[in-house]
């Protein structure tokens, strides 16, 4: 998943949690405007949500944020430009 989309997901999750508490739910549509102006990004989020993680339509924002952060932790080589041995 592209870095920009990950950042947007974390931002939206943080905003929803701050406004509505830890039990707030959302769908992947929450990360997009109500128009189809970036279909590739929408499909990327949909694939991650539906195919890769098989999530329900609505999930807790805390769960989504944790999945995104864990994905970054699983691939430390993506965080830094350190050569692999």
3-state secondary structure 3-69: HHHHHHHHHHHHHHHHHHCCCCEECHHHHCCCCCCCHHHHHHHHHHHHHHCCCCCCEEHHHHHHHHH
pTM for this model (two decimals): 0.80
Segment 20-28 mean pLDDT = 95
Token pair recorded at residue 22:
């830890």
| Chain segment 39-64, per-residue pLDDT in tens | 999 999 999 999 999 999 999 999 99
What is the pLDDT confidence band of residue 21, given thresholds at 50, 70 and 90?
A: very high
Distance CA 64, CA 38 (A): 21
- Say if residue 18's pLDDT is above 50: yes
- Say if residue 85's pLDDT is above 70: no
């Amino acid at each position: 998943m592209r870095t920009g989309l990950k950042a947007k997901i974390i931002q939206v999750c943080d905003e929803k949690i701050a406004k509505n508490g830890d039990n707030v739910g959302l769908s992947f549509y929450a990360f997009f405007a109500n128009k189809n102006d970036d279909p590739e990004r929408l499909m990327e989020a949909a694939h991650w949500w539906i195919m890769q993680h098989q999530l329900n339509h609505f999930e807790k924002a805390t769960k989504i944020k944790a999945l995104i952060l864990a994905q970054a932790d699983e691939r430390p080589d993506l965080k830094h430009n350190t050569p692999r041995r």
